[in-house]
Amino acid sequence: MSCGRKVALAALAVLGVVAMGFFLRGFLDPYRLPWSDWWLYQKNFISPDGRVIDTGNGDITHSEGQGYALIIAHAYEDRKAFDRIWEWTRKNLQTRPDDKLLSWLWKTDGKGGGAVADINNASDGDLLVAWALARAYRSWGDYRYQQASLQILSDLARLDVVKSGDRNVLLPGTVGFVKENGITLNPSYYVFPALAEVARNVPTGPWKELEVSGGTLVEQASFGAWKLVADWVLDGEIVTLSPDFPPLFGYNAVRVPLHIAWHNPRSKLLQPIAKFWKKFPGSKMPATVNLETDEFGPDPALPGVRAVAAFTIACAENQRLTVRALPDLNREEPYFSASLNLLTKIAVRESFSSN
């Protein structure tokens, strides 16, 4: 064998060892996001043109779901998927005539088409999409992402941030939530990591104040024997359970501890919810709790809720949690559970991987 060939083979061997090292480092990283999760999420819930399908709710599409998918696509550094989801969102939901907010509900016609079914916005969906676009700009440097994010935030601040007593609050939507006896609020719409990030990007906006007032709202919106945060409340002279919605700690409020822990893993606001969830190992955890009677609903918590619970308990007990410790996405998991599952893994990675 010639000397040149020996050198070439040796160089290839070194490159192979280096490449294998990088592969194993990524494969063994306990905070690596499983690509199989993202593949299955796209297969089950995202159409080829970028519409996110809520399979547990009549295959509707809502702005919240588009926002979740954008956050997840960015976390997986999948720009092609991100652009496809954003393009569908922009063309089909960002169609209100007087602002850049998103119509919250789109329904299929069952024949391959569909249309907006409610032009009102949902502020959590607007905030999630604006947050995802801000992250995309930071990662990929396309000014169009930043411009679109700032347009949504400007209109969200103008239309959905209002005064309630001595504090600003975030309306769940532009129309229908200001009552004669108070303002109907949803604590889970305060997406704390999003508020903190957009506050750094737009320090002149109301976002930092909402981050603070949202924490106060969570404290005041906790009821029942376990002091669990409610899905919906009425902010009047005092914060009470909303008379317009069931008095539940349920499918809205389970997102509150995820948002809090993602923003501040050591927040004292996690303690009551962690204490409650710790009482119910595995599938025995109830999906809902009636905050007037303290009775549990008939259904068990979804796997995605149990992932949020594991994250919440770890944070409340000052313990570490890895992405690998959370179960892979289940093929039978409905949209909402799958979304919580993937979002929790992203939150765990961002909260613990660099500590």
Q: Closest by alpha carbon to 89, among 69, 75, 73, 74?
A: 69
Determine which one of 37, 64, 126, 160 is catalytic: 64
Q: Closest by alpha carbon to 226, among 294, 283, 296?
A: 294
**Alpha-carbon distances of 243 from 23, 183, 225, rounded to whole Å:** 55, 12, 20
The two tokens of residue 268 are 């004292």
**Alpha-carbon distances of 282 from 31, 92, 249, 306, 342, rounded to whole Å:** 22, 39, 18, 7, 18
Distance of CA 103 to the CA centre of its chain: 18
Helix, strand, coil distribution of the chain in percent, nearest 5 = 50, 15, 35
Please count the other Cβ atoms lying within 10 Å of the Cβ belonging to residue 215: 19
Angle between helices 207-220 and 192-201 (to 10 degrees): 160
Q: Please answer whether residues 291 and 248 qualify as being in contact, where contact means their C-beta atoms are separated by less than 8 angstroms.
A: yes
The two tokens of residue 343 are 């979002």
**Catalytic site residue 54?**
no
In three-state form (DSSP H/G/I as H, E/B as E, the rest C), the secondary structure along 192-232 is HHHHHHHHHHCCCCCHHHHHHHHHHHHHHCEECCCCEECCC
Q: What is the rounded CA–CA span in Å between residue 296 and residue 293? A: 9
DSSP character string of 170-183? E-SSSSS-EETTEE
Determine which one of 124, 160, 197, 235 is catalytic: 124
> Phi first, then psi: what are they for 203, rounded to 5°?
-65, -20
**Catalytic site residue 64?**
yes
Query: In the block, which residue shows the tokens 């989801």?
Result: 85
- Annotated active-site positions, please? 64, 124
